[in-house]
Amino acid sequence: KSIVILVSGRGSNMEAIVRAAIPGARIAAVISNRPDAKGLQFAAEQGIATAVVDHKAYADREAFDTALAESIEAYAPDLVVLAGFMRVLTDGFVRRFEGRLLNIHPSLLPSFPGLHTHRRALEAGVRVHGATVHFVTPALDCGPVVIQAVVPVMDGDDEERLAARVLVEEHRIYPQAVRWFVDGRLRLDGNRVHLADEPQ
Ligand code: GRF
């Protein structure tokens, strides 16, 4: 199966997926909305095709999403993986890739959608926190959940320590979700996730 990964910055989740060397998966391209995204360097070093669709070059969200979709479609991917991609996508874009669009969010959804999740978890005083891989549907950060990982919140945690603890788990569960998809075990059926016991 061929995969396109979208990044905006550091790209550590993309790196974890690439390094997982998932049998049957081919990373066709890494695409960024920011020309200076660090993740692009790693991808290029790995010999993966890279592309930039700079959101600043487009008049509005629709125009950007159309250009982004075209750039993705050039690789005809079976799966599109959002890995720290920091642009809100239009409904049209999401529908076009429905069922083959995954995102990772640094909280236990449905808790803490949106930004600054670690800070908000600390403020709320929760004892567990984590990360969620989900299929992307038009409503922000609330698509059907594929896999979650839980970490404890410890006394004395600050945002940075908590984020680092969560990130370790992100790097484990995102490759796992991609492996399931590539094995044909994972699919979206309306608003439900189906995860088969055996590779299909
Ligand atoms: C991750 O914490 C991800 O969950 C969030 O943004 C961060 C991206 O990190 N959406 P990276 O670019 O994958 O290193």
CATH architecture of 2-195: 3-Layer(aba) Sandwich (3.40)
The rounded distance, in Å, linking the Cα atoms of 122 and 112 is 11
Asked whether 11 lines ligand 1 (CB < 6 A), one says: yes
Ligand 1 neighbourhood includes 15 CB (under 6 angstroms): no
* Of 5, 7, 8, 13, best ligand 1 pocket probe by most atoms within 8 Å of the beta carbon: 13
Q: How far apart are CA 173 and CA 181, in angstroms?
A: 12
List CB contacts of 95: < 8 A, sequence separation 6 or more. Answer: 138
Query: Separation of 172 CA from ligand 1 center, angstroms?
Result: 13
CA of 200 to the centre of ligand 1 (A): 30
Residue identified by tokens 């670690």 is 118
**Token pair 């590779």: residue:** 199
Ligand 1 atom with the smallest distance to the CA of 83 is: 13
103 labeled part of a ligand binding site: yes
197 C-alpha vs ligand 1 centroid, how far in Å? 29
pLDDT value of residue 161? 98
DSSP string, 80-121: EEESS--SPPPHHHHHHTTTSEEEEESS-TTSS-SS-HHHHH
pTM of the model: 0.97
- Enumerate the active-site residues: 105
Residue 183, C-beta contacts closer than 8 angstroms, at least 6 positions apart: 24, 199, 200
11 is in an annotated binding site: yes
The complex scores an ipTM of: 0.97
Any atom of ligand 1 within 6 Å of the Cβ of 83: yes
Domain boundaries, the chain: 2-195
Q: Which helix (H) or strand (E) holds 174?
A: helix 159-182
pLDDT tens by residue, 190-199: 899 999 998 7
pLDDT computed for residue 200 by the predictor? 74
Low pLDDT (below 50) residues in the chain: none
Write the pLDDT tens digit of every residue in 105-118: 999 999 999 999 99
